[in-house]
Amino acid sequence: MGCSRWVCLVFVLHLIYPGLVASNGFSDIPKKLLDFAKKSEVFDWMVGVRRKIHENPELGYEEFETSKLIRVELDKMGVKYKHPVAVTGVVGFIGTGEPPFVAIRADMDALPMQELVEWEHKSKNPGKMHGCGHDVHVAMLLGAAKILQEHREELKGTVVLVFQPAEEGGGGAKKILEEGALENVKAIFGLHVEPHLPIGKVASRSGPVLAGSGFFEATISGKGGHAAIPQHSIDPILAASNVIVSLQHLVSREADPLDSQVVTVAKFQGGGAFNVIPDSVTIGGTFRAFSKESFMQLKQRIKEVIHGQAAVQRCSAAVDFLDKDKPFFPATVNDKDLHDYFQIVARDLLGTDNVKDMNPLMGSEDFSFYQEVLPGYFFFLGMQNETLAKLESAHSPYFEVNEDILPYGAALHASLALRYLLEYQPKVSLLEHNHRDEL
């Protein structure tokens, strides 16, 4: 867009959105939304929502109470929504109900682990914990909904709020897509809290940011017997041990050192006595890569190694990749144009020095399913207060959230969505203005 066209666009938008578009264009929008999110009544409300969810963690596709809480809050705001989507999911709509459509997403599910943090709002569900920050993700998206609903008359398009179930291995994003909930959406944004990044900072990158991942489980069967006479048995523990060592060679000896890959065995179950060789052993783990080719090669070699090494020790093996219940996650790949757009919005909100580039991580995210079908952008939001104790990593039973992060996440969500509509709207053809039935 030439300079004169840009000035003309800003002038027109200033007439349409006098409360949001300042004389210098869109740059004041994020800070105004952050100020709104920091209001005591908004902040305290988000804290209360987050703590209610934290006290009642629910696993993937079981987020019934979390879903109910979300719907109650959306009802209070007067926000329309669809439910159920993907079993427990909620998809809300703010704006005109017409194109363009832009989505912002939060995951709702907890982890199957016992919380070890002693505080007033500790998990009340034994063996379940919000140890990855999904409770705060939901609270921030509800905060964004409150901000956007406050400015709904200025939205010349529609923001789609995606409250997604089952991110932790269940592939809830895939089910959201399969049910057509994001039809006609032009872009989607998602975030994750980062305990090791200072509060008020964000980090991301263009291109691959997180790896594709899958799971495997293998049962290695032999012949049980007395530990004192191993010659009468076929030892599956020995076979499983050889399998584990050999699996590590897939990365160290077969993968290109410049092509990051991971194979980890994290589960080993077999035997129940000190002097009894069991009949079978079960092992399981995860494998990860950034390219589909490398991922599928790892999958094939994992199967071959398990069968081959079991046979060397006279055992048999059955391998299950669990992809019916835990679908393979693609790599999370950020759209280049959305990266450039994110940098502009984040810098206006947080300042240039607080917007960081990052290296790819071997963690995975089912946000990647969205990115396979539409432009998507995923980023990390810091929450470490450097004057306080260091926060533990996600998936730790000691994981804690710095609730001061809530306004930042809410304002970023709202700014990315609202400003996307403001900048995209003039480019939308009138031919695209078809109403959606659910709105």
Q: Which residues are annotated as a binding site for Mn(2+)?
A: 132, 134, 168, 192, 395
Is residue 160 within 8 Å of residue 78, measured between CB atoms? no
Distance of CA 155 to the CA centre of its chain: 26
Cα–Cα distance, 15 to 21 (Å, whole number): 9
Sign, CA torsion 95/438/144/75: positive
* CA angle, residues 39, 45, 48, in degrees to nearest 5: 140
Q: Which residues contact 155 (CB under 8 A, 6 or more apart)?
A: 94, 95, 96, 148, 418, 421
Is residue 95 within 8 Å of residue 157, measured between CB atoms? yes
* CA angle, residues 371, 321, 248, in degrees to nearest 5: 95
| Helix ranges (DSSP H) in 83-235 | 134-150, 172-178
Residues making up the annotated binding site are 132, 134, 168, 192, 395
Indicate the burial class of 231 (C-beta count within 10 angstroms; 0-12, 13-18, 19 or more).
exposed
Q: Structure tokens of 5? A: 């066209």
The secondary structure element, H or E, covering residue 345 is helix 336-350
Q: Which residues contact 9 (CB under 8 A, 6 or more apart)?
A: 1, 426
Closest CA to 411 of 209, 189, 195, 207: 189
Sign, CA torsion 388/49/35/82: positive
